[in-house]
Amino acid sequence: MPDREPRPNICDYEGSDYRIRFWDGKGRDYEDRVERVALRRLLPARGRRLLEVGAGFGRLTDEYHAYEQVVLLDYSLSQLQYAQEHLGTDDRYVYVAADAYHLPFRPGVFDGATMIRVIHHISDAPSVLAQVRNVLVRDGVFILEHANKRNLKAMVRYAMKRQTWSPYSLEPVEFVELNFDFHPEYIRRSLVDVGFKLQKQLPVSLFRLDAVKRALPLDLLVGLDGLFQLTGLLYAPSVFMRTVATGPGPNNLEADSIFACPECGGDLVHEGETIYCPKDDLRWAIRDGIYDFKATIDS
Ligand SMILES: C[S@@+](CC[C@H](N)C(=O)[O-])C[C@H]1O[C@@H](n2cnc3c(N)ncnc32)[C@H](O)[C@@H]1O
């Protein structure tokens, strides 16, 4: 095994009941629906292959029907197993358990990527954004959602001195361990630094307050949110950005294999129900159709 740099901590959802605890019947239909409104506004009309970074249990994967293939990547094998149960095992979906800090793909194998409700768990956001840029072709579209530290509630709380951190300063704030809010300008600069050009930003989920959600009908709230998104005023708790990949880079969209060694970047070989890096002599399992790059297995 090659020597490894110390790695950032990962917010581990393995075995978590995220779907049941956070979404199913938990009064978050508003959040789910307005995120879909934003996504539909930002997604291209068609594409070849999309990478969904931190896909979780595939809550939003049905929005990506315009792509010929969707690769669901998540650190949690159990989230992917659930996604596979309801999305199925046909070739249109590829399931990959891996760390977004070390994507196991060749450069330029995707022309689309999304990352929704994930970067708030990432302590080194620029590293992961660089990984995403590397696996996209030039002009590939990347849709990123981030939790917004400069939201109305935080601004009011800060003005009333009920919050110590400033919503206006650019650095990320870690409000709970491995949970970060970001300033939109910090994210924009980080994206530009690694080779993305910002095309559009939408403020999403402005009415994410229990009292408001109880007082107003869901359809009305979704309609109002959809209108507010169009103002571009980035004071909602969530921001969706559409960016495109700029600069040079290979186009491997039609390559035989999308995978590369997450350690050395070299080509991998399929051998039975495993995938193998001859250069590093490392091997990973393919478990019931899920590529498991979380840990190597014995050769
Ligand atoms: C809040 S969930 C969001 C899931 C999905 N995108 C959604 O919106 O329903 C965050 C997901 O990010 C994944 N995640 C967190 N850190 C990760 C990392 N370093 N690499 C890959 N996935 C990661 C977690 O396993 C989890 O499934």
Can you give the CATH number for the domain in which 168 is found? 3.40.50.150
Task: Give the separation between CA 113 and CA 125, rounded to whole angstroms.
Answer: 16
Q: Which domain holds residue 229?
A: 18-292
Residue 61 CB–ligand 1 contact under 6 Å: no
What is the model's pLDDT at position 98?
A: 98
What is the model's pLDDT at position 2?
A: 55
173 part of a folded domain = yes
State the sign of the Cα–Cα–Cα–Cα dihedral 132, 143, 121, 147: positive
- Please name the residues in contact with 218: beta carbons below 8 A apart, sequence gap of 6 or more: 29, 30, 33
198 part of a folded domain = yes
Cα angle 42, 12, 165 (rounded to 5 degrees) comes to 70
24 part of a folded domain = yes
Task: Give the separation between CA 229 and CA 66, rounded to whole angstroms.
Answer: 23
CA–centroid distance, 145 to ligand 1, in Å, is 12
Residue 79 CB–ligand 1 contact under 6 Å: yes
Pocket test for ligand 1, best of 75, 123, 238 (most atoms within 8 A of CB): 75
Closest atom, ligand 1, to C-alpha of 115: 6
Produce one character per residue of 259-282: b if its CB has 16 or more CB atoms within 10 Å, e if not.
bbbbbebebbeeeeebbbbeeeeb
Task: Give the separation between CA 227 and CA 213, rounded to whole angstroms.
Answer: 17
- Beta-strand ranges (E) seen in 26-177 are 47-53, 67-74, 93-97, 110-115, 136-147, 173-176
Nearest to 239 by CA among 176, 174, 193, 191: 191
42 part of a folded domain = yes
Assess contact for 79 and 13: CB atoms under 8 A: yes
- pLDDT averaged per 10 residues in sequence order, the chain, 299 residues: 75 88 88 98 98 98 98 97 95 97 98 98 97 98 98 97 97 96 98 98 96 96 98 98 97 97 97 97 97 94
What is the model's pLDDT at position 178?
A: 95
Residue 59 CB–ligand 1 contact under 6 Å: yes
238 part of a folded domain = yes
Task: Give the separation between CA 258 and CA 256, rounded to whole angstroms.
Answer: 7
What is the model's pLDDT at position 5?
A: 72
What is the model's pLDDT at position 64?
A: 98
What is the model's pLDDT at position 4?
A: 66
180 part of a folded domain = yes
Residue 74 CB–ligand 1 contact under 6 Å: yes
Assess contact for 48 and 111: CB atoms under 8 A: yes
What is the model's pLDDT at position 7?
A: 86
Residue 165 CB–ligand 1 contact under 6 Å: no
CA–centroid distance, 79 to ligand 1, in Å, is 9
CA–centroid distance, 3 to ligand 1, in Å, is 26
Assess contact for 71 and 115: CB atoms under 8 A: no
Tokens 């659930």 -> residue:
82
Task: Give the separation between CA 94 and CA 105, rounded to whole angstroms.
Answer: 12
What is the model's pLDDT at position 135?
A: 98
What is the model's pLDDT at position 1?
A: 52
What is the model's pLDDT at position 17?
A: 86
Q: How many domains does the chain have?
A: 1
224 part of a folded domain = yes
